[in-house]
Chains A and B, each alone.
Chain A
């Protein structure tokens, strides 16, 4: 079955250090891939998306992600964490049987220490 796996449920970094949030997907084709962020008690907001164009995707707030088909990965990175980055992050993939259906990963909560 198609799935998306976020490898860490929690990630803790110090302010100013790099951020890496890992995402792997299982698929026999190239899906559309997204990263969304959710701040406490809020809806989700799109950070970036990959839809078969450039494999290195730049998003908002300094985040970027690289699509690696050979590794079926779409890891999210940021060179320098800010306190305001503390939130929950979701990796999302379109389903193979219907690109109108999205599958969400279970989420990674990012903690940023001062």
Chain B
């Protein structure tokens, strides 16, 4: 099983450029999310989705957009890259079960996308 697939694995951008990080899962999970990981800060939630057509903001949404047109895909768009967005980005998905208790099950993570903004 592929699980959660992120592309690209590495990317270098110049300040002001835009790009999209791709995330796809093949487990039919309702819940998908994007995190950024910075040294000494753990992972911080950027955006999440509980199903196709439904997205919401996490802790650090500024500068990022998401959409969820299908169950499988959850791309993260950087509108105008800034050096502060240099980070490792992780996509994660989860089965919500009956969907009433939030994320109580396992999050399945991709292997990460390392982004450098010059």
Q: Do A and B come from one complex?
A: yes
Q: Which residue of B lies closest to A36 (CB)?
A: B107
The answer to whether B109 and A32 have CB atoms under 8 Å apart is no
Q: State the Cβ distance, A54 to closest chain B Cβ, in Å.
A: 15
Contacts A100-B48, A100-B102, A101-B48 known; A45 to B41 CB distance under 8 Å? no
Most buried by B among A41, A46, A102: A102
Give Cα distance in the complex from A94 to B101, angstroms. Answer: 10
Q: Decide if A100 touches B56 in the complex (CB within 8 Å).
A: yes
* Chain A residues whose C-beta falls within 8 Å of the C-beta of B106 in the assembled complex: 46, 49
Give the CA-CA distance A104 to B92 in the complex, in Å.
13
In the complex, the answer to whether A107 meets B42 with C-beta atoms within 8 Å is yes
Residue in contact with A90 in the complex, picked from B31, B43, B58, B104, CB distance below 8 Å: B43
Nearest CB of A to B59, in Å? 8
Q: DSSP class of A's interface residues: helix, strand, loop or mixed?
A: loop
Give how many A residues have a beta carbon under 8 Å from the other chain's beta carbons.
Answer: 23
- CB proximity to A under 8 Å, residues B14-40: 31, 33, 35, 40
B104 x A105 contact (CB < 8 A): no
* CB contact between B104 and one of A9, A32, A45, A107 (< 8 Å): that residue: A32
Query: Does A51 reach chain B (CB closer than 8 Å)?
Result: yes
A94 CB, min distance to chain B CBs, angstroms? 6
Nearest CB in chain A: distance from B66 CB, A = 14
Residue A114 at the chain B interface, CB threshold 8 Å: no
Tell whether B111 is near chain A: CB-to-CB under 8 Å. Answer: yes
Asked whether A100 lies within 8 Å of B50 as measured between CB atoms, the reply is: yes
Contacts of A100 in B (CB 8 A): 31, 48, 50, 56, 102-103
Q: Which residues of B contact A104 (CB under 8 A)?
A: 35, 42-44
Q: Are A42 and B111 interface neighbours, CB within 8 A? A: yes
Nearest Cβ distance between residue B9 and chain A, in whole angstroms? 10
Pairs of residues from A and B, 3 with the lowest C-beta to C-beta distance, nearest first: A99-B102, A43-B109, A104-B42
Q: What residues make up the interface of B, taking CB atoms closer than 8 Å to A?
A: 4, 31, 33, 35, 40-45, 48, 50, 56, 58-59, 90, 92, 101-107, 109-112
